Amino acid sequence: MDEVQLNNQITMPRLGFGVYKVPNEDVQEAVSTALKNGYRALDTAQFYQNEAGVGEAIKQANIPREELFITTKVWNSHHGYDRTMEAFEESLEKLQLDYVDLYLIHWPVPEQDKFVETYRALEDLYKSGKVKAIGVSNFHIHHLERLQKETDITPVVNQVECHPYLQQQELKDYCKRNEIFLESWSPLFRGGAVLQEQTIQDIAQKHQKTAAQVILRWHVQENSLIIPKSVTPSRIKENINIFDFKLSSAEMDTIQKLDQNIRVGKDPDEMNVTSL
């Protein structure tokens, strides 16, 4: 598995397994399938309400803990120092773990104006050793700039919506300059429209790969981290099988031209405590 070195010198698999909207009763089987197919990074969250199932799958897999990279996130309802600490302990208990590899703020929720205070809790968790790395999710540049001014530790990751229809180039450039890895959620877009693009289909045919594999490979060559989600065993296996081919610069340029600034999720500036 391809790995990257984060700005605090720990390593993280470039490709992980996402479990957003996978019900707790189904997530154990999906995660078990992923682990059997070579995934070693798992991405969950307080909000997903499936940390317990993820934890059970980890326990049953019997893989050495140091070989796994587990990410979870604090939800909008638990911003603020004390609430974040409470949320983290709850997540740790559900996951049945002694530590988490990466802990993220799920959304900045600017109307609350507590993300700096929340991030200070993450910094203390990191200093305590209960978290190996800390970062954020769905942060715009101006949110990151504020963190850089008002906190001590640069996030290792900013996990955001990113796919060929929303390529986030300005944010990617900012993250690169500041040694923050951009991690793509919804890397294949939703609904399959990107997969049906003729240019993607043509590239896939040339490489004898699927459209999904081409798009995931594009992310990798953009130097992004990715967490594709699936509950279908064949797709779980397919999504990790992207390290045996390479897109040409011309093919990368072709995909770059698909950018339309289309979001499937909320704009981070508009996310509040109750909205999704």
Residue type (1 letter), 111: E
Active site residue: 48, 103, 119, 165, which one? 48
Residue 48 designated active-site:
yes
- Residue entry with tokens 């700005």: 7
Q: CA–CA separation, 68 vs 71, rounded Å?
A: 10
Tell me which residues are annotated as active site.
48
